[in-house]
């Protein structure tokens, strides 16, 4: 069985994972660095594709004559044309729950970094300069969590250690553990109006595209700090640039962008913006768990067993 791996994270912290795959009968092709031109050739005879952030689009999938599964090395599948895969009978799987803590940690790290100007202060001292930065407290403030899945709840759990009041918004029905985490459900508008810190944890889809735009920035507090470790398209970056430069909000922390690498240079010039290159899921522990979960479906395919975490199961007979 031919397995193409295009994410450099796969097996990074599990030395024998690829050897184990080969011992079990997999012909492993590691296409790293990624080349779309070569992928157009390799995918023709592939049975499985372990994909990271590379685009699994309709054109590529249409060339796959034997492909049975696209296994996302992560959670979000917005870089995979799920509709096209479904039409071709290709299962799309992901690895939920493997990076929840890693992303929640980074969200809080960005929150503290923006609040206390940590990156700017670090750069100043390393450049043999000394100065003062007047930050704002995180302790005892109000945190608004948009999206109350596992990661959003993880951020709320961390907020309890800072004695923060937590407001939550989600389109789903409230879950019992929200009471245990002292999350108060409110409307999105109320959350934006009352929160000192706002952390986004929603998937990118037609309902969340541009969820935070010009109108939303208008109703936020002028000292609000916005954090996004979800997907870049959830925030309208042009509106964010205006909000940061016109002091409509105090600051922002981004791990994700509308296009990656970022193609909005004006936004990068904002001194009240802290950024990281989509590293939320990348801790040693999270990457190892993700790799192990991703490969399990490859083994299931080898053994003609049912696949787990199939995101398009309702449209397939798997």
Residues catalogued as catalytic: 231, 260, 278
Longest Cα separation, the chain: 64
234, 209 Cβ separation under 8 angstroms: yes
Q: What single-letter DSSP state applies at residue 76?
A: -
Residue whose entry in the numeric block shows the structure tokens 């990661």? 151
Residue 1: name the closest of 290, 292, 309, 304 by CA: 304
**Interhelix angle 100-116/150-160, nearest 10 degrees:** 50
CA neighbor of 2 nearest in space, from 23, 19, 22, 20: 22
Q: Cβ(54)–Cβ(6) under 8 Å?
A: yes
DSSP 124-183: HHHTT----------TT-EEEEE--SHHHHHHHHHHHTTT-EEEEE-SSPPPTHHHHTTE
């Amino acid at each position: 069985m031919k397995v193409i791996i295009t994410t450099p994270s796969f097996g990074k912290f599990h030395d024998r994972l690829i050897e184990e795959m080969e011992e079990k009968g997999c012909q492993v092709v590691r296409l790293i660095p990624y080349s779309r031109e070569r992928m157009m050739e390799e995918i023709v005879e592939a049975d499985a594709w372990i994909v990271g952030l590379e685009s699994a689009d309709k054109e590529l999938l249409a060339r796959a004559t034997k492909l049975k599964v696209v296994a996302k090395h992560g959670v979000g599948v917005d870089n995979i044309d799920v509709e096209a895969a479904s039409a071709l009978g290709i299962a799309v799987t992901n690895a939920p729950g493997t990076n929840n803590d890693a992303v929640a940690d980074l969200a809080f790290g960005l929150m503290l970094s923006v609040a206390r100007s940590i990156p700017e202060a670090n750069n100043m001292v390393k450049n043999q300069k000394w100065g003062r930065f007047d930050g704002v407290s995180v302790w005892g403030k109000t945190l608004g969590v948009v999206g109350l899945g596992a990661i959003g709840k993880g951020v709320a759990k961390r907020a309890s250690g800072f004695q923060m009041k937590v407001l939550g918004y989600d389109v789903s029905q409230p879950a019992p553990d929200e009471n245990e985490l002292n999350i108060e459900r409110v409307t999105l508008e109320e959350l934006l109006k009352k929160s000192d810190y706002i952390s986004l944890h929603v998937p990118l889809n037609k309902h969340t595209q541009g969820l935070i735009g010009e109108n939303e920035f208008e109703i936020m507090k002028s000292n609000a700090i916005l954090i996004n470790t979800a997907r870049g398209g959830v925030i309208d970056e042009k509106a964010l640039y205006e909000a940061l430069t016109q002091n409509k909000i105090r600051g922002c922390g981004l791990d994700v962008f509308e296009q990656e690498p970022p193609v909005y240079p004006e936004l990068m010039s904002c001194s009240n913006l802290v950024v990281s290159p989509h590293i939320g899921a990348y801790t040693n522990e999270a990457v190892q768990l993700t790799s192990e979960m991703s490969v399990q479906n490859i083994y299931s395919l080898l053994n003609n067993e049912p696949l787990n975490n199939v995101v398009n199961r309702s449209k397939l007979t798997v």
